[in-house]
Structure 1
Amino acid sequence: MASRKEKDMRRPELIVPYQEPAAKGEGGDFGSTLSSTLPMAAIFMRNKYIGWAAVVFSVQSWLGESEESQKSSGTPGYFSVGMSLMSLMVTYLPLFLPQQPNLQRGSATGAAAPAPA
């Protein structure tokens, strides 16, 4: 039988009591998410209403930034405002630069015009 006289290597002065980590508050900022995704949706769908909503949400999230959210955020607020203004510009671009009409004869659904003899 092994004797229980072995030396205990644990030292009471080195014991660190457990401390529960502090709560981080909200899991995420929904307004910041909208201000970064709405401009992309406006560009892809060419929808003016989504472009205006992107501008409103990005300005609102930029004005509502705190110093803590500025440190934790990857992009600054003025960048999201610039992105939303650019998406609004892209949605209004066809008003200033209209597309040229298609000059091909015939259509994809109908028969082609007869060729002259």
Structure 2
Amino acid sequence: MAAKKDMRRLDLAIPYIEPPTSKNDADVSGAMSSTMPMAAMFTRNRMIGWVSFVFSLQNWLGETEDQKSSSSTPAYMSVFMSFMALVVTYFPIFLPPQNQRAGATPAPSAS
């Protein structure tokens, strides 16, 4: 069987040009990296804490110069917030609440 001839024409090829980004585009990754640590602290969910830490770390490492100049807070602050969310979620392991610590002793009666 004979090899088929390539029918593509190079003179008709159009190179890819990336569309310009709009200044009005919302920074979804910045909003996520600032709200996820708060959700982890409120719910004391460790999984949300770890996801927020990894997400904010990736957001900080992938930050462009335009994002640095246009953002109101630096990206390392969201990394710090997500780390503090991890500290809050793991805090009861190292310092349990008072009612669990003294749970074995009965409370004194009022009579």
TM-score, normalised to structure 2's length? 0.69
Larger relative contact order (Cα-Cα within 8 Å, sequence gap ≥ 6): 2
Partner residue, 2:95: 97
Q: CA deviation at 1:82?
A: 0.4
Q: CA deviation at 1:83?
A: 0.5
How far apart, CA to CA, are the structure 2 residues paired with 1:86 and 1:104?
Answer: 35
How far apart, CA to CA, are the structure 2 residues paired with 1:70 and 1:59?
Answer: 15
How far apart, CA to CA, are the structure 1 residues paired with 2:80 and 2:67?
Answer: 19
Q: CA deviation at 1:96?
A: 0.3
Task: Name segments (4+ residues, structure 1) moved above 3 Å.
Answer: 102-105
Q: CA deviation at 1:28?
A: 1.3
1:44-89 CA-partner distances (Å, limit 9, x unpaired):
1100000001101100110111111111101101100000000000
Larger Rg: 1
What amino acid maps onto 2:73 in structure 1?
A: T
Choose from 86, 89, 99 the match for 1:88.
Answer: 86
1:24 aligns with 2:22: yes
Partner residue, 2:56: 58
In structure 2, the gaps of 5 or more residues are 1-19
What amino acid maps onto 1:41 in structure 2?
A: A
1:69 aligns with 2:67: yes
How far apart, CA to CA, are the structure 2 residues paired with 1:104 and 1:71?
Answer: 60
Q: Give secondary structure in 2 for the equivalent of 1:57.
A: helix
Choose from 76, 82, 96 the match for 1:78.
Answer: 76
**What is the root-mean-square deviation of aligned Cα atoms in Å?**
2.5
Identity of aligned residues (%): 49
CA pair 26-56 structure 1, distance change in 2 beyond 3 A: farther
TM-score, normalised to structure 1's length? 0.66
Q: CA deviation at 1:24?
A: 2.1
